[in-house]
Each structure stands twice: as C-alpha cells, then as structure tokens.
Structure 1
Amino acid sequence: MREPYPPLEPRRSGWLDTGDGHEIWFEDCGALHGLPVVFLHGGPGSGCKPLHRQFFDPARYRIVLLDQRGCGRSRPLGEVRANTTQHLIDDLELLRATLGIERWVVFGGSWGATLGLCYAAAHPVRVLALVLRGSFLARPSDLDWFFRDGASRLFPQAWERLRSAVTPVERSELLAALYRRVFGPDPAERNRAVQAWQDWGGSVALANLPAPSEKDLPVELLAQAGSSMAPGAEPAQPGERKPEAATVPRVPVPATEGLAQARLLASTRIELHYAAARYFVADDPVLARAARCPRVPTFIVHGERDFTCTPEAALALHAVLPWAELELLPGTGHLASEPRMTTALIAITDRLPGLFA
C-alpha cells in the first residue's frame, strides 16, 4: 500500500475576500510552476486538513486548497447566507484568477466530487483533468438511501439515536426538525442535534474500519467521518415546508463554544442548509451537468463498501462520462484515508503530470 507524501506547509496562505460578506481561506503549496491542482473537500461543511496536501508530489504539483464558505478557517464560521453551490463555483473561479492559474486539475471526494462536476460543467475550459472519489450525485435516490430506507437498515441503532434528537411527532420531517435545532437558541437542543448528526454520519462512514472506542478517535477524524461525509437530507413529505435559502436565519456560531465544538456546529449547519435546499442542484441535476463536462482525463474511484455514497453512483457517473477510467476498490469504504483508496488516488496523481508534459 502506498503512503501519502510527507507533510508539507503552504508556500502562501490567507483569506480571499469574495465581496459579499465571506472570506475564503486558501493555501498554495508545492511547486510554483508545477501542475496546478485544486483539492475540493467534502461535506458540504467540512474543510481542508493537512493530509489533503499529501495526495500530490510537491515537487511536481502546485497544490491549491480552500475551505468553502463558512467552513474550516473561512469567515464567518458557519455562515449560510450567500452560500449556495453557485457561490462555491464562483469562488473557485475567483481563486483561480487571483492565483494566476490558467487551467487546473480538479480533485474532489464525496461532496467535493459533486462540486468538481458542477464547476467543470460551468467552466470547462479551465479544467485539465478530473479526479472524483466516492462521488455524491445528490439524486433523490441518494437522499432516500441516506435518510429513509437504506442506510437506516444497516445501522439501526445510530438511526434511532438520530431520530431521538427530535420529538416523535417531528420524525416525519426529520431534516426540518434538526434544522430548527441547530439554528435555534437552546444550547442543549442544539448540541444534542449536532451530536446525533455527527454520530449518524460517522457510523455510516466509518463502518468499513475496525471499531476503536470513541476515546481513541481524534476529533479531526470524528469530524471528517461525520458532517464532511454524510450527504444527508430527508426527502420532502407532502405538504412539508422546508427552509428556503432566502429565509435562512443569520445565527452566528456562539463564541462560548470551544473551537472543535464550534466547527462541528458550523459544519452541521452548513450541511443541513445545503440538504434542505437539495444542494441547490434540483433544477439542473448533477448528472445533467456531468454530461456538459469537458472530455479531459477523468478518473472515477469508489469503494465497494462505501455505505455513505453507494458504488452505484460511480457506475451511473461512468455511463455519462464513458471516457473516464472507473475503479471500484474491494474492501474499501468512503474515506480517502483508507489504505486502498489512498494508494489508488496517489497512483492517479503520480500519472497525471506525465499526461501534460
């Protein structure tokens, strides 16, 4: 199995003002004149980690990372106003132009793959190649799997813990009930909903790994396995009113929260915001956008034991992008850090510079 490249620090980092109330944290790493690549994190709501720099040879790549709006070190933390898929696409273009990059490789996993496809469809001439890991397609069937009659059968105890975060009468509109709590004023209800959400996402995303006790898991991994990996949304019930992006409350992350808890709250808020709005792609579905992606080197990698974003999504995506290389990894789940997945991803990134020499 292949180990990630050694840790490295950014050559340049800072905040990029978007002009509409957000400041996006970005990092510029590796070789200034190397093959440009942008790493798109999952969630929505997660953020970039030091490990994400290590999928690329720093002597051959110019590695760009960013924390999407409201995520990680971007400011304001947890802000959901002016925070849609189109805003994130526009931020990528702003960052690309700011850094003076003409074209770049787009590398994304889970929600990052969703965003990568949407960006490539909107700006095809800016994309050199696509690397898509554990792709989330945001279809009704994907949401049904995660939030109705799918993963709930495999992980019934975690599912019941999630449902128990709201009252029995609210369980038919679970997403809306969780949304009210994580944006609400009651700290106890808010924290209970956040914990239940993280527990559910972590139970599904970590299911393929050996089961250490929670005390042995670092906070970063728990956060990664939770909201950054859970494409959750409750399909609308007849007559159910979902929160609309235009009426989202402006509720700052409480200053009294510890940093780790504040980031979990922020990531949960952002993910529920996107899930309630069907990831802002209902009018132009992800697979329809994928059909408009450029015919560039494309790699679809998916774990056969991915219980978060099922492997069927990789086959559906490959049907739309038949020129792509498709690799289904046995015994592998959703996380990029799983050994077979890490090995497969680095094998791809090691090949790519030779295609553009």
Structure 2
Amino acid sequence: MTDQHSASHSRRPVHSPYPDIEPYDYGYMPTDGKHQIYYEQSGNPEGIPVVVVHGGPGGGTSPNLRCYFNPELYRIILFDQRGCGRSRPHASQDISLEDNTTWHLIADMEALREKLEVDKWVVFGGSWGSTLSLAYAIKHTDRVSALILRGIFLVRRSELEWFYQEGCSQIYPDLWENYLAPIPENERHDLMSAYFKRLHGDDYAAKLNCALAWAGWEGNTLSIEGPPETATKFAEPEFAIAFARIESWYFHNKGFFDSDNWILENVHALKDVPGWIVQGRYDVVTPMQTAWELHKAWPEARFNVVNKAGHSSSDIGILRALVAAADDAAALLTV
C-alpha cells in the first residue's frame, strides 16, 4: 500500500486531493449517557494525528474528508458527532437532544483523544466544524498542535438571521421560496422559531416536510457552481430530519455559548497555536465578514481568501487551499 501511495504522490498535481484510502481502524466509543460515537482512523498509524470535525451540526462525516491529508504523514481521525452519521442513536428517531450540546461534543472529543492515546492533534474543521474546533481549542489549547479552519461560523445571531431569516434570501429568491413554503405567512417574521416548533413537534409529516425544506435550502446554496452532487443527500429523509433537528436545536440555544460573541472574546487563548483560515470570497452560507473578524482577533493565523469560491469544501479553490494548509502544517510539525 505504501508503494502505491508513493507512486501516486509522485504524479499528483500540487495541492490536489490525496488518493482515496480506507480506514485501518473503526469502532464505537460509549459516552456516559445513551450516545455511542462512531470513529475511524486511516493513513499512517505513526503519523501526525489530525481530528476532522464535520459541519452541521448534524452533518456527519464522509470518506472525502480523508482526502486533504497526506496519508503517509497523517494519522487521520474522523468521528460522527452525537445524533448523526453512524453514531447512535440517530436524531432522525424521536429522541431527546438534551444531552447534545457544544460542551458534550467537546467532552466527546477529549474522551476520544484519550481513548486513542493521542497527546496533541491537529484540529481540522469547516462551517460548524470551525465553531466546534475553535471552542475545543479554546478549552483545551494544550492538546492542539495546529488549527485548520474553513468557512468560519460562530453561531452569532447576525449570522443566523442572514441565512435563515433575511439576507441570503435576496441572492437566492427562487430557492428561498422552497424554504418559506412549509411555514404559514403569519409565522414568517420568525422563521427559525417556526421551524423549531415543527422539527421538534409530534406531527411527523410536518417534521419531514420542514426537514427537507431546511436541509434543501442549505444543500443548494453551498457552492457558487450551483447545487453540488452531494446536495442529493439533503433530500434523503433520514439525513434531513437528523440534520434539521440538530441544527435548529443548536441555533435555538445560541450554540450553548455564554455570550453571542463568546469565541471572539476568548480567541486570544490561541495566539501561540499555528492556524490556517480558509474562506471563500462568495460564501453565502457563512459570509466572509465573520472570517474577517476572526482574522482581526487572531492575526497570528494565516488567512487565505479564495476568490471564485463559495462555502463548499469541494469548490476547487477551497479544496486546494485546505490541502495546502494541511501540507504546510505537516511540514511545520515535522521540523
């Protein structure tokens, strides 16, 4: 396997994704409650540990999240956050989300790090994954060797209003009509509350209808190239219900942060942590204003604005920038 990877790397264009690989280890980690967290490891068991923090919240991992890392240099750790992906129980079921918060997820990350006997790891996350990565790093700075972030999202009210109430609606008015459709006109002044009530209610038909509209809105606005092929998963009922329920739960609870600006207020803790911020200029899901504010508050991190790119990590400029950041981090950490 090593010889095959070596040969493919020699022909690999600069900053293109690494070849597909399969995990060498996978399993479930129990928590103190009902949740069992799915995790997997791939790449080099003796390499630089990197934990990949997926988006959503509630999005789950996918095999393509391994492709940013040189498998000869990195020990690549993926896990599904509570309620989604292959973790159990799945939030498409009628389960309470009371024990699914930012702080539970951070505790899960720490428990996984200890289970896998990792001292420090690179933390890699995009969108909601950037939120959770930053919060984890602020709380456990001594366990983070570097941060690589994409599509910065801080769960602030202004960011949520932009995407779920008014703002992005003016860029995609055609798609917005589909998002509006499940909600009566007299409730559209507060769309997030109207969706929350239905997504966490007892009417399954209303729940499914709202979940598909909520998930479809996000899936179809990710890329400046138009709806990506991966948007089809947002039309799968099981995925859509879990995704929409978990997202609306976190947004209703303000990300479980003590203040609207908690991350920026505490990001000074990361001044000595090597960091890379990758942001699409035309990201309409998590607009560049937030990434710019993080850059100003954390100037030590490398800041890369990718023109002709949106929110999707599969937009070619974003993909190449993330591969380059991972390569740079590996070079820095192996000196």
Deviation at 1:67, TM superposition (A): 0.4
Q: Distance in 1 between matches of 2:63 and 2:128?
A: 18
> Which residue in 1 is equivalent to 2:269?
292
- The 5-angstrom pairing of residues 157-168 of structure 1 reads 157-168=174-185
Conserved in 2, the CA contact under 8 Å of 1:125 and 1:294?
no
- Is 1:335 the equivalent of 2:316? no
**Greater displacement, 116-125 / 167-176:** 167-176
> Which residue in 1 is equivalent to 2:126?
109
Considering only aligned residues, what root-mean-square deviation do their CA atoms show, in Å?
1.7
**Greater displacement, 316-325 / 141-150:** 141-150
In the superposition, the TM-score normalised over structure 2's length comes to 0.90
Conserved in 2, the CA contact under 8 Å of 1:117 and 1:289?
no
Q: Distance in 2 between matches of 1:205 and 1:66?
A: 22
Fraction of identical pairs, as percent = 39
- Is 1:304 the equivalent of 2:281? yes
- Is 1:222 the equivalent of 2:238? no
Q: Relative to 1, partners in 2 of residues 1:282 and 1:174: Cα closer, same or farther, differing over 3 Å?
A: farther
> Which residue in 2 is equivalent to 1:61?
74
Q: Distance in 2 between matches of 1:129 and 1:61?
A: 13
SS at match of 1:125: helix
- Is 1:151 the equivalent of 2:171? no
Question: Deviation per CA, 1:297-355, whole angstroms, max 9, x where unpaired?
Answer: 10011000101111111110011111111010110010111111111111111122221
Q: Distance in 1 between matches of 2:47 and 2:271?
A: 22
> Which residue in 1 is equivalent to 2:252?
276
SS at match of 2:221: helix
Amino acid in structure 1 at the alignment position of 2:148: V
Q: Distance in 2 between matches of 1:163 and 1:4?
A: 37
Question: Deviation per CA, 1:270-290, whole angstroms, max 9, x where unpaired?
Answer: 011101111112436121232
Q: Distance in 1 between matches of 2:105 and 2:136?
A: 9
- Is 1:201 the equivalent of 2:218? yes
Deviation at 1:95, TM superposition (A): 0.2
- Is 1:29 the equivalent of 2:42? yes
- The 5-angstrom pairing of residues 132-151 of structure 1 reads 132-151=149-168
Deviation at 1:163, TM superposition (A): 1.9
> Which residue in 1 is equivalent to 2:330?
353
In the superposition, the TM-score normalised over structure 1's length comes to 0.85
Extract unaligned runs of 5+ from structure 1.
212-216, 228-259
Deviation at 1:185, TM superposition (A): 3.0
**Greater displacement, 169-178 / 266-275:** 169-178
Amino acid in structure 1 at the alignment position of 2:231: L
Conserved in 2, the CA contact under 8 Å of 1:155 and 1:203?
no
Amino acid in structure 2 at the alignment position of 1:222: T
**Greater displacement, 341-350 / 160-169:** 160-169
Equivalent residue for 1:127, pick from 144, 152, 158: 144
Q: Relative to 1, partners in 2 of residues 1:132 and 1:14: Cα closer, same or farther, differing over 3 Å?
A: same
> Alignment length, in residue pairs?
316
- The 5-angstrom pairing of residues 3-82 of structure 1 reads 3-78=16-91, 79=95, 80-82=97-99
SS at match of 1:172: helix
